[in-house]
């Protein structure tokens, strides 16, 4: 099992990277960290399942802690998880030495077709039950923990709030979770709710990681929709406000990750500074 020691307490602020993206070049991020020009506490690594990418990051990262993010597990689909996808996730975790694997309540598959966007979980009790079974199965077979992330929404389907569904999945599967603040905000916009509606009833002790990413608000169709752009856009001020309010309330929080795929280095540095400023109280105690 991967050594969880680097995340036994709050680790700080890290970056979510795709090893295949040229912007930012993850090697350059490590160089800036080594030069003292980028306060980087960890990386969350997305490899598209390619084991060589995981091994390359681990070899270059030295003592920097690493997490793993996988979007090919499809935990919301009935019929169980594909054995090859689970085995590949486990191999990537081992190569990185990652204590947990982040997996969203979504799929990118319709039959055998792979999509370039997420289909999020339907917001029903039955969908939550299926996802909980899949997460329990996944958590039993990975070398570290399976961590459940809320997906983005532009058209929620079903009567439940996403926080209700995510809480049920986490509690029935007994797994930790990532709360992606942009994804949560996308849902609240669709329902006309305040940014942190429902958070008071959520099991905050299950949150081990918070996510941020750049985004744009698109009102071209007469309603505001959240378009997740990761490093292709700036962090919305509302997300930093949500972070500052929520982070101190999460007793098991270990990591705050900025997903920076497609960002230039200047934007990465700017977003790290803004995030660390929003977390000044927690980082001061680190």
Q: What is the pLDDT of residues 240-269, one digit of tens each?
A: 999 999 999 999 999 999 999 999 999 999
The residue count of the chain comes to 286
Quote the CA–CA distance of 49 and 25 in Å, as a whole number: 18
pLDDT value for 2: 46
pLDDT value for 204: 98
Query: Which has more pLDDT, 31 or 111?
Result: 31
The DSSP symbol for 233 reads S
**Is 70 exceeded by the pLDDT of residue 3?**
no
**Is 50 exceeded by the pLDDT of residue 116?**
yes
- Structural contact between residues 14 and 46, judged by C-beta atoms closer than 8 angstroms: no
Q: Which residues of 65-101 are buried (b: 16+ CB within 10 A; e: fewer)?
A: bbbbbbbbbbbbbeeebeeeebebbbebbbbbbbbbb
Quote the CA–CA distance of 272 and 235 in Å, as a whole number: 10
Cα distance from N-terminal residue to C-terminal residue, the chain? 26
Lowest-confidence pick of 8-22, 102-116, 199-213: 102-116
- The whole-model pTM stands at 0.96
- Structural contact between residues 185 and 236, judged by C-beta atoms closer than 8 angstroms: yes
Return the CATH architecture of domain 5-284.
Alpha-Beta Barrel (3.20)
CA 70 to chain centre: 9
Where along the chain do its domains lie? 5-284
């Amino acid at each position: 099992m991967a050594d969880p020691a680097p995340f036994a307490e709050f680790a700080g602020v890290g970056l979510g990277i795709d090893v295949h993206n040229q912007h930012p070049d993850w090697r350059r991020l490590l160089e800036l960290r080594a030069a003292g020009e980028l306060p980087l506490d960890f990386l969350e690594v997305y490899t598209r399942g390619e084991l060589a990418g995981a091994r390359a990051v681990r070899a270059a990262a030295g003592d920097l802690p690493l997490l793993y993010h996988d979007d090919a597990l499809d935990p919301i689909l009935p019929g169980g998880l594909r054995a090859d996808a689970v085995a590949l996730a486990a191999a990537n975790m081992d190569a990185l030495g990652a204590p947990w694997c982040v997996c969203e309540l979504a799929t990118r598959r319709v039959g055998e077709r792979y999509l370039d966007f997420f289909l999020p979980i339907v917001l029903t009790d039955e969908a939550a039950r299926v996802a909980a079974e899949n997460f329990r199965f996944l958590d039993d077979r990975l070398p570290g923990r399976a961590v459940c992330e809320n997906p983005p929404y532009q058209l929620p389907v079903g009567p439940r709030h996403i926080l209700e569904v995510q809480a049920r999945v986490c509690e029935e599967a007994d797994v930790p979770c990532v709360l992606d603040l942009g994804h949560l905000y996308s849902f609240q916009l669709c329902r006309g709710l305040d940014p942190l509606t429902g958070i008071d009833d959520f099991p905050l002790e299950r949150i081990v990681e918070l996510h941020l990413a750049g985004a744009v608000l698109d009102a071209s169709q007469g309603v505001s929709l959240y378009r997740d752009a990761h490093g292709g856009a700036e962090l919305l001020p509302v997300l930093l406000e949500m972070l500052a309010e929520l982070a101190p309330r999460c007793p098991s929080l270990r990591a705050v990750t900025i997903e920076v795929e497609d960002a230039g280095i200047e934007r990465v540095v700017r977003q790290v500074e803004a995030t660390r400023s929003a977390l000044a109280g927690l980082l001061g105690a680190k």
